[in-house]
Structure 1
Amino acid sequence: MTSGLDLAALDRQIRPLLAQQRYEEAEALLRPLVASGTAPLAVWRWLASALRPQGKIAETRAIQEMVVAHVPGDYAARFDLSETLLLMGEFERGWREYRYRYSLAHTASMERKVQRPRWNGQPIPGKTLLIHDEQGFGDTFQFLRMVPWAKAKSGARVILEVSREVLLLAARTRGFDHILARGELPPPFDAHCELMSLPMAMGLTLADLPGPTPYVQPDAQRVERWRKRLATLPRPWVALVWAGRPTHPNDANRSLALEQLAPLAHCEATFLSLQKGPAEAQAGRPPDGMSLASLSSEIDDFEDTAAILSLADLLVSVDSSPVHLAGALGRPVWVMLPFVPDWRWLLAREDSPWYPHARLFRQPARGDWASVIAAIARELGSFVRSRL
């Protein structure tokens, strides 16, 4: 079936289909080519890329496992496999494969070139361990919980380095002896570990989660400032975020327009817009009947966001950094998830092992936000009535 296959011509057919999210058509073209089980690896890779967005996760994993077995040096394949394993809750191997995230062409420049060994989870009493953030703000909020665990296991003096945007919040967490902003010169250290490599180093399992919560605290003065700002607004207060960072590679699948949330408008709540970025302007034109207070222009930093979340009765949000901040604060959060979500939300569950007060509302089919929003509208009506 595959003898004489013109891979270049097939590439010209398949790539546009994948880019246009026409996954079923791509699968239909590729299925006959793999029927004998002897297709070129490129064909298998394309098939995995067509299957995963359709939610065919087990078959995707089988193909990714096969590719990695045949080409163990294909770091892109190993990283793709890691995200599938983590999505399936198979943390042990998933974390090991996840270390290949900085072996890809487009991420190699992001890796910190640290001239010290990476900590492997062993006790290093009397030594100094640098733990540093690496990716998005949400990742930092999610994995700050592990800093005190790492200190306890390593027995080391811990230096925590985070981006300046989250420095003040991180400074009120536990588990470090010294904290600094990324870009500052750290004190001498003996070993280092990225925040998101701590799970591999420490062998994190689902049974270890969530750990003590909350593990992030808002600033008391900011809370009081926002309490006064919001005092005239009727309760309950439902914070709202409907779009993530536009540069995120999966943003098209995770973000919404505010007008899509029109079914929430008739719940007797005051909505607090925490939306930042280009979608912030939509708050000036809320759906008919929605009582929306746009706070975006008054939010200077994550300290403000944390203070508002500590006062709000609930956050309803797409998968973005405020979700993880709310979770770290131990606040109630309802997360709107695409059909195949980011790995950290796992599969087929309405709760999150990471955040005890989170509820997950998943698309029942790819692109079906209407069902998600209808479900939230029903639940939000009950939630609001219980607080009136």
Structure 2
Amino acid sequence: EAGRMLARGGRGAAAATLYDAAIAARPERRDLIFACVSDLHDFGAAAAALDLLERHCLPSDRAATAWAVLRGVLLADLDRLAEARAVLEDATEAAPHEAAAWTNLGMLRERCGDFAGALAASDEAVRLAPDHPQIRLNRAVLLLRAGRFEAAWDDYEWRLRQPGGTKLPVETLLPTLGPAQDALAGRTVLVWHEEGFGDTLHFIRYVPMLAARGARVIAWVPRALARLLAAVPGLDEVVTDAAALPQYDWHCPVFGLPRVFATTLATIPSAVPYLKAEPGLVAAWRHRLPAAAGCLRIGLAWAGQARPWVPGFALVDARRSMALADLAPLAAVAGVRFISLQKGPAASQPPPPGLDLFDPMADVTDFADTAAIVAQLDGVISVDTAIVHLAGALGRPVFMLDRTDPCWRWLSGRSDSPWYPALRICRQPAPGDWASAVRAAVAALNGLRSPAASG
């Protein structure tokens, strides 16, 4: 338990020391090795996990498919893709009936640019384990990232079958709607926040479409979103208290809304803005922001919400977040005043020399305040986090700094987004190469003209 607490707190090296001692005391407990390694992996310590695995496993362990799959996953998380692929290819040959090996091979092939091979491996995994929620979800993400939305939505709903996947009865999950324009007349639909703030900001765009089908729509969201979302057209009520949910006929998590409308790449509802900053807040923040004085005002966010309580999310966050120091090249862009939009622990990072960064975020109480700030900016530069979705929903120009293995929403091989017309993706050409992504953002920023220059 002590090791798990350390791992959960981001202290992987200290946790590994405790796990070493535990394994040394009970070397016959082979299951203990896998449990300790998996724990380190879940909370972001992939290097320590791989070291523990390779030092303690015996030749008999190494013959097991579970060992190969775990080692392949750890190698992939450390961006040692060629080694990981070889391990997983060997595992599927040695144990062709092991669905876990096939599904992980599918995800790895996709990272290596082999979509056809990835889909073949994912299909085989589903054939072997058709009722396994994670395997179904893995294939869905693969299809979504390739833009094959219509083939993915059914698999994507399997996420709700995982432990804790849905807070509400599956019997009242909103079904996919047919062509009838009054399909929801007289019905109340509860739309609920599923994972991150950005996810709800992204998919709340579907609320007016539900209302247009006759629904009375209620949104159940965290308090940080409630004030901003209250003004969404077609939204009748916003609730934040799980203990006081109103009566409803159907419910739908925000990630399920594209499925409800059978969304394809061609039918994405991309009209912006679909969120609006409250005019009174805009006026209040106008006097608290630095004057433009003929310069561009550009918002910056360099780290996402870590979510250390979610197993496995630490690795995702480590790949999508960067250090404020990585944005140092922005200081060379003339005629720009940078405004911090960063919340959380990363906000305490000092700006690199030459980067003049105004930070108003200590006085920000929720996303309504942040929206009032963003609405007055000429653009936003951010890693893949809620700020991207907020700025995109407000119709502001966004330059998103993205990792090599992006969230499915950003698709593959594109620098634009069908979700947000004013968004440009500045993606790493190789894992960890933030310098190239920042150079692309600098070039894009140089292409923007300040209000003074365009007048």
Give the TM-score taking structure 2 as reference length.
0.77
- Deviation readout 1:147-169 (Å, 9 max, x if unpaired): 1111223x232223222211111
Correspondent of 2:332 among 253, 266, 289: 266
* Alignment match, 2:272: 213
Q: Counterparts of 2:241 and 2:396 in 1: how far apart (Å)? A: 28
Residue by residue over 1:238-272, the C-alpha shift from the partner in whole angstroms, topping out at 9 and shown as x without a partner, is 10001111224411111110111111111121110
Q: Confirm or deny that 1:83 pairs with 2:141.
A: yes
Instruction: Find the aligned partners of 1:210 and 1:17 in 2 and give their Cα distance.
Output: 38
1:27 equivalent among 51, 70, 85: 85
Distance 2:92 2:187 in 1: 53
Which shows bigger deviation, 261-270 or 58-67? Answer: 58-67
Partner of 1:330: 395
8 Å CA contact 1:68, 1:77 repeated in 2: yes
Mean CA deviation greater in 51-60 or 187-196: 51-60
Q: Aligned AA for 1:69?
A: R
1:217-249 deviation line (CA, Å, top 9, x unaligned): 101111112211124354210100011112244
SS at match of 1:230: coil
Q: Which amino acid aligns with 1:144?
A: I
Q: Which residue of the partner structure matches residue 56 of structure 1?
A: 114
TM-score, normalisation: structure 1: 0.90
1:340 CA drift (Å): 1.5
- Which of 207, 222, 225 is the equivalent residue of 1:147? 207
Q: Distance in 1 between matches of 2:195 and 2:207?
A: 16
Indicate the SS of the match to 2:172: coil
Q: Relative contact order: is structure 1 or structure 2 higher (C-alpha 8 Å, sep ≥ 6)?
A: 1
User: Contact between 2:68 and 2:87, CA under 8 Å: does it hold in 1?
Assistant: no
State the Cα deviation string for residues 73-95 of structure 1 (Å, max 9, x = none).
11111001111111111111212
**Do the aligned partners of 1:129 and 1:191 also contact (CA within 8 Å) in 2?**
yes
Partner of 1:252: 318
1:34 shift after superposition: 4.4
The answer to whether the Cα contact below 8 Å between 1:18 and 1:49 also exists between their aligned partners in 2 is no
Pick closer, same or farther for the CA change 1:42–1:112 going to 2, 3 Å: closer
Contact 1:55 1:340 in 2 (8 A): no
Q: How many residues align?
A: 379
Alpha-carbon spacing, 1:384–1:289, altered in 2? closer, same or farther (3 Å):
farther
Unaligned runs of 5+ in 2: 1-61, 308-312
Aligned mate of 1:172, from 228, 231, 237: 231
In the other structure, the counterpart of 2:345 is 278
After TM superposition, the structure 1 = structure 2 runs for residues 1-388 of structure 1, keeping only pairs within 5 Å, are 6-11=64-69, 13-34=71-92, 38=96, 40-104=98-162, 108-114=163-169, 117-120=172-175, 121=177, 123-153=183-213, 155-183=214-242, 185-232=244-291, 234=293, 235-247=295-307, 248-249=313-314, 250-268=316-334, 269-282=336-349, 285-384=350-449, 388=453
Further displaced range: 323-332 or 228-237 = 228-237
Corresponding residue for residue 56 of structure 2: none
8 Å contact kept, 2:186–2:216: yes
CA distance in 2: counterparts of 1:157 and 1:385, whole angstroms: 43
Task: Classify the secondary structure of the residue corresponding to 1:265.
Answer: helix
Seen in structure 2, the aligned counterparts of structure 1 residues 258 and 384 have a Cα distance that, compared at 3 Å, is farther
* In structure 2, C-alpha distance between the alignment counterparts of 1:236 and 1:35, rounded to whole Å: 57
8 Å contact kept, 2:69–2:88: no
Cα offset for 1:213? 1.6
How far residue 289 of structure 1 moved from its aligned partner, in angstroms, is: 1.7
Structure 1 residues 252 and 54, CA, compared in 2 at 3 Å: closer, same or farther? Answer: farther
CA distance in 2 between counterparts of 1:189 and 1:13 reads 46
